[in-house]
């Protein structure tokens, strides 16, 4: 993505897509909301993501990798919460550098994966190991 295109995508996501996606994630298959703690403010920050639950681990791919603010928050404090189908679960998030994000996207929800591949500049696999997996 060019230097001019990325700011437009970020604006679109921040002000149009994310507010709607945060509210509809509980009803949307493959959607979740990851809640991190702001590394400077200490306030909860909620980011909608598209991913999948495999056993007690939730997987997704960050389209902007370490440049994403929520990824920086996870690096500062890996304790997070994730909302899956309307319920919140606590866990520990991790950046998975040795995982192939393109291959991972093949196993994640198709619509979200297409958008991540289209707009992503620094794909990075992420995971949350849940404290108590959903039943």
Assigned domain for 33 exists: yes
Assigned domain for 98 exists: yes
Q: What is the CATH number of the domain that holds 9?
A: 2.30.110.10
d(CA 71, CA 68): 5
Assigned domain for 66 exists: yes
pLDDT (tens digit, 9 = 90+) per residue, 25-77? 777 788 999 999 999 999 999 999 999 999 999 999 999 999 999 999 999 99
Instruction: Write out the residue range of the structural domain in which residue 55 sits.
Output: 5-130
| pTM (2 d.p.) | 0.87
- Indicate if the pLDDT at residue 16 is higher than 90: no
Assigned domain for 135 exists: no
The least confident of 15-19, 72-76, 91-95, 125-129 is: 15-19
Whole-number Cα distances in Å, 11 to 20, 52, 84, 118: 14, 26, 25, 16
Q: How many domains does the chain have?
A: 1
């Amino acid at each position: 993505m060019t230097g001019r295109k990325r700011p437009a995508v970020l604006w679109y996501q921040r002000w149009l897509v994310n507010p709607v996606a945060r509210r509809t994630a509980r009803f949307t298959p493959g959607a979740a909301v990851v809640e991190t703690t702001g590394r400077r403010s200490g306030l909860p920050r909620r980011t909608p993501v598209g991913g999948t639950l495999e056993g007690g681990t939730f997987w997704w791919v960050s389209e902007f990798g370490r440049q994403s603010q929520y990824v920086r928050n996870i690096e500062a404090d890996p304790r997070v919460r994730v909302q899956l189908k309307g319920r919140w679960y606590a866990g520990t998030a991790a950046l998975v550098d040795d995982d192939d994000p393109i291959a991972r996207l093949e196993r994640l929800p198709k619509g979200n994966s297409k958008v991540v591949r289209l707009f992503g500049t620094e794909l990075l696999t992420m995971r949350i190991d849940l404290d108590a997996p959903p039943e």
